[in-house]
Amino acid sequence: MVCAKCQKLLKKTELATPNVKKKNEMYFGSPAGSAKSASKGSATLGNTGVGKSKLLSKSAKNPYAAYSSTCGGCTTKVDSGKKFCQRCAFKQNACAMCGGPAKELICKSCREHLSRRKYSAAAAAVAETPEPVSSIPPSTQASGPKQAYQLRAGVVLSRPPQLTRDLTPFEKAFFLYQRRLNERLALPFTRYFYFKKDTPADLEWKRKMKTRMTPARDIGVYNAYGKEGWNDEVLVGAKESETEEQIEALLKDVEAVSVGGAEGEAAKQESAIDRPMPRTTEADNLGDHKSLDRLLQRTLYLLVKNKEGRWTFPHDRIAGRENLHQTAERIIVQAGGVNMNTWVVGNAPIGHYNYDFQKTIVDLEKGVEELGERVFFMKARIMAGQANLETNKFGDIDFKWLAKEEVEESVTPRYWSAVRNMLAER
Amino acid sequence: MARRELAVATQSAAGGDLEPSSSSSAPLASDDALANYDPVAQARRRETELPASRYKFRPPKYYRGPLHPHQPPPPSDPSSRLFVPSPFTLPRLEQTYQSTIASDLMTLAYTHFPPGYRAPPKGPRLRPWEGPSPYYKNRPLRGPRGGDVLHLLKRPITFRNVPKLEGVTLHTMVPQAQDDSAHLHVAGMVLQAISNVRVTTHAARKSVAGFGLREGKFIAATATMKGEDMYHFLGKCIDVVLPRIKDWKGVRGSSGDSSGNISFGLSGESVALFPEVEVNYDMYPPRMIPGCHVTIHTSATNDRDARLLLSSIGIPFYGKQIN
């Protein structure tokens, strides 16, 4: 936020602190510099080299002290010669450098663009080529209120998948086939590297090998080295490729070790082995759409039901000078309460939804006629917690955590066509 | 492979985007025929052996060029001499990357260019020699400004080039192996156990008196993992080994070769924490389990993106981050 007059000053390469000596002049052993500066009568005389005065106060020793300054509006330190920090300059609508009223304002990104240094070769090349004609038509000043769209931000708050997905029948069959091929092609299992000879573990291993005929524990009974090693494909209806069967086989293998002890201990040991947790939860069985413990293999999205009874992602107008990221963070708190640990991913939206009002809304105070609304969706992840609509600021009635295809059933077809491509398949 | 399962797979795929009609969706044989089908018994019953040409295919031992009538099958064919069975599983880390991490990285790294934007032209990375000297003619191009390292190009991340894991290299150097080769054997066994790939051993290229190295003596072993093995190794590393290392701060932020490959070290005690070593820890000679260097290769072209990827899969970084 710098006025056009000061902008020119910015572009000049003159030092902001012309009287301060360069770094090499400030240290002992730079005779050329110190001789020159002594004749000049510099501002920091007596502060350098052997002639440095130890009696001076701390602030007097600092050669830059005279050039640092504080913002006129707050206590922020600003660069020398500047009147306001950027924040106060915005508030007071003043130039940050001279403090005067900012008439010709230049936004931050434009200023960066203006002051960007171009390589001379590249700049020359640019100068030769004619500027491409902009295809964007110049905005015309209408006599009535300015026509515009409501700018809104939406939040696609999602819980990522917690479990690996179920394999397809083809994948199961393929993986089993590859494992059996591996048994055929791999070098034999080096038993003596894993089991000392004639120890109980070794005897146990031999016993198991006799039954399943292969070192691999989860490929069923299959002898890869025997005469019938070619019979590596399972028949129709065989259970060997099923994940549940393989888990059972692995558990049986572990349990068999513990049975080796006394008979009384066997039952105790068996119960000590942790079985894997079920892949479906209670919320799945109950069909509880509010729970975050459902559909653990899928991404779940938060949808809220608004006053009109429509299911949408939580959204709100962008207020004041907020950016999309800040708006998204605010919406999450105002819609779902503070009891959610969330992360808004990045600063850019992942999708947008346009909606034209049936009848335009005219705001005479601002002189704006609103034609419709544009919702830009920000991506967010929930790490912990749960949504709670008690403190909801938007008057939402209900919420749900839904997977992609359930979102399709809940929202309007028009809304769905706008949001479907930003939702993950899984 | 189970034939009925194939048929089921094609039926379920019909609901998705795949082509519904397929040659494998042919009707199954009758239940009676299925119940009576026993290929092993059938083979045993056979009195004379089938002619070898019916079931044996030997690919040519040597490749004799594209015009030779006897061409080897592709390496993915089980009858090929180069065939290596895989994959056996669908690793959890890979699924997490596909479902969660990749899309998040893309959103994080998105840079917006308004319509009609044209990137400002850049000078050539390698400059021609300009001047009156006749020796500048046909001279190889000058190196980049400010140094002689030609860094990889940094392209904006789009859906095509989201950084992903490409491979992991384990490296261990055991100078004691010069006097007692048992050290190198143990190092090789440990690396093979934790990585599931064969190791390559390396000899010292020249003598270094300071390190006590003698030229030509085998002192190091490496294992390079890709794909499924890599994902399993990283998964074990992140979920089992790294959390159990005492006082481990993370990977140093300045690690990396500035082209997207990041390394860290594991001590011998940490390597012993890998479940494969732990199950038969007693079988390794005492105090011979070596530490190793882990280099993670990513498709990122700078260290910043690589660090973003690695921290998203759960590898912590500490200290000043240098790109």
Contact A193 B280 (CB under 8 A): yes
Q: Are residues A259 and A319 in the same domain?
A: no
Domain boundary among A253, A270, A287: A270
Question: DSSP characters for B101-164?
Answer: IHHHHHHHT-----TT--PPP---SSBPP-SS-GGGTTPPPB--TTSS--PPP-PPP-TT----
Q: Which residue has the higher pLDDT, B16 or A360?
A: A360
- A395 close contact with B: CB closer than 8 A: no
Chain B residues whose beta carbon lies within 8 Å of the beta carbon of residue A299: 99-100
**Percent share of chain A, pLDDT over 70:** 69
Name the residue among B13, B85, B107 with its Cβ closest to that of A379.
Answer: B107
Q: Would you mind telling me the total number of residues written for chain A in this entry? A: 426
- Co-location of A235 and A359 in the same domain: no
Tokens coding B88: 């056996």
What's the CA gap between B165 and B300, in Å, rounded?
Answer: 9
The answer to the question of residue A380 being in a domain is yes
Statement to judge: residues A308 and A417 lie in one domain: yes
Please tell me if residue A237 touches chain B, with a CB cutoff of 8 Å: yes
- Scan residues 84-143 of B and list those with Cβ closer than 8 Å to A: 84-90, 92, 95-96, 98-100, 103-104, 107-110, 112, 115-116, 118, 120-123
Instruction: With beta carbons less than 8 A apart as the criterion, state whether A90 and A96 touch.
Output: no
Most confident stretch, A95-109, A127-141, A373-387, B148-162: A373-387
pLDDT band at A13 (very low <50, low <70, confident <90, very high): very low
A224 and A343, same domain (yes or no): no
Q: What is the reported pLDDT for B144?
A: 86
- Asked whether the beta carbons of A419 and A353 are under 8 A apart, the reply is yes
Report pLDDT for A267.
52
Residues A266, A303 within the same domain: no
The overall longest dimension of chain B from CA atoms, in Å, is 92
What CATH number corresponds to the domain at position A352?
Answer: 3.90.79.10
Q: Could you say which of B2, B90, B280 has the minimum Cβ distance to residue A194?
A: B280
Looking at the fold, whether A393 and A340 belong to one and the same domain comes out as: yes
ipTM of predicted complex? 0.87
Structural domains for chain B: 165-318 (3.30.1440.10)
> Does any domain span residue A354?
yes
Query: How far is C-alpha A209 from the chain's CA centre?
Result: 49
Verify that A369 and A415 share a domain, yes or no.
yes
Are the C-beta atoms of residues A379 and A328 closer than 8 Å to each other?
A: no
Residue from A139, A216, A203 nearest A176 by CA: A216
Q: What pLDDT does A11 receive? A: 54
**In a domain? residue A29:** no
Are the Cβ atoms of B2 and A167 closer than 8 angstroms? no
Question: For B154, what's the count of Cα atoms within 13 Å in the CB-facing half-sphere?
Answer: 13
User: Do A154 and A189 belong together in one domain?
Assistant: no
**pLDDT at residue A33, rounded to an integer:** 41
Amino acid A57: pLDDT = 59
Residue A159 sits at φ, ψ, to 5 deg, of -110, 115
User: A-chain residues within 8 Å CB-CB of B5?
Assistant: 169-170, 172-173, 236, 241
Profile chain B (323 residues) by mean pLDDT over runs of 10 residues: 43 52 69 89 90 84 94 92 94 97 95 90 89 94 86 91 97 95 96 96 95 94 97 97 96 95 96 95 93 97 96 96 87
CA distance A307 to B257: 55
Q: How far does the CA of residue A72 sit from the closest CA of chain B (Å)?
A: 35
Alpha carbon of A108: minimum distance to chain B alpha carbons (Å): 16
Whether residue A154 is found in the same domain as residue A221: no
User: Considering the domain boundaries, does residue A374 fall inside one?
Assistant: yes
Chain B residue with CA closest to A184: the answer is B85
Q: How many CB pairs under 8 A join A and B?
A: 126
Shortest Cα–Cα distance, B123 to chain A (Å):
6
CB contacts of A346 in chain B (<8 Å) are: 107-110
- Is it the case that residue A119 has pLDDT exceeding 90? no
Co-location of A152 and A178 in the same domain: no
Which residue of chain B has the CA closest to A180?
A: B85
Cα gap A418→A372, rounded to integer Å: 15
Closest residue in B to A381 (Cα–Cα) = B104
Cα–Cα dist B85/B304, whole Å: 36
Q: Identify which of B95, B96, B102, B75 has the alpha carbon closest to the alpha carbon of residue B86.
A: B75
Edge-to-edge strand ranges of the sheet holding B200-203 = B200-203, B218-225, B165-173, B292-298, B261-266
Domain annotation covers residue A263: yes
Place of tokens 């749960």: A386
Per-residue pLDDT, A128: 46
Domain identity same for A181 and A207: yes
Strand partners, B262: B296
pLDDT exceeds cutoff 70 at A422: yes
Nearest to B214 by CA among B202, B223, B206, B222: B206
Annotate B29-57 with DSSP letters as a single string.
PPHHHHHH--HHHHHHH-SSPPPHHHH--
In terms of Cα–Cα distance, which of A278, A279, A281, A277 is closest to A401? A281
Split at pLDDT 50, 70, 90, the class of A111 is low
Q: Are residues A176 and A125 in the same domain?
A: no
More confident site: B204 or A272: B204
Q: Which residue of A has its CA nearest to B1?
A: A233
- Flag the least confident range among A127-131, A398-402, B241-245: A127-131
Task: Write out the residue range of the structural domain in which residue A76 sits.
Answer: 1-13+63-129
Q: What is the mean pLDDT of chain A?
A: 80
Contact list, A161 vs chain B (CB under 8 Å) = 95-96, 99-100
Task: Summarize pLDDT for A251-270 with one digit per residue, the tens.
Answer: 988 886 655 544 545 555 55
Per-residue pLDDT at A304? 97
Q: Is residue A44 part of a domain?
A: no
Domain count for chain A, please give it: 3
Neighbouring CB atoms inside 10 A of A327's CB total 24
A28 domain-assigned:
no
Report the pLDDT value the prediction gives residue A96, as an integer from 0 to 100.
Answer: 73
Inter-CA distances, B63 with A72, B53, B66, B80, Å = 82, 21, 8, 12
Interface of B with A in 291-310 (CB under 8 A): none
Give the pLDDT confidence of A362-380 residue by residue, as tens digits.
Answer: 988 888 999 999 999 999 9
Of A270, A285, A310, the last residue of a domain is A270
Omega of the bond leading into B87 within 30 degrees of 0 (cis): yes
- The verdict on residue A179 lying in a domain is yes
Contact A178, B88 (CB under 8 A): yes
- pLDDT tens-digit map of A274-306: 889 999 999 999 999 999 999 999 999 999 999
> Is the separation of the CB atoms in B164 and B306 below 8 Å?
no
Cβ of A177 under 8 Å from any chain B Cβ?
Answer: yes
Rounded Cα distance, B250 and B158, in Å:
29
- Across the interface, whether the CB atoms of A196 and B121 are under 8 A apart is answered no
Give residues 182 to 201 of A whose Cβ lies within 8 Å of B. Answer: 182, 185, 193-196
Residues 231-290 of B with CB under 8 A from A: 279-280, 283
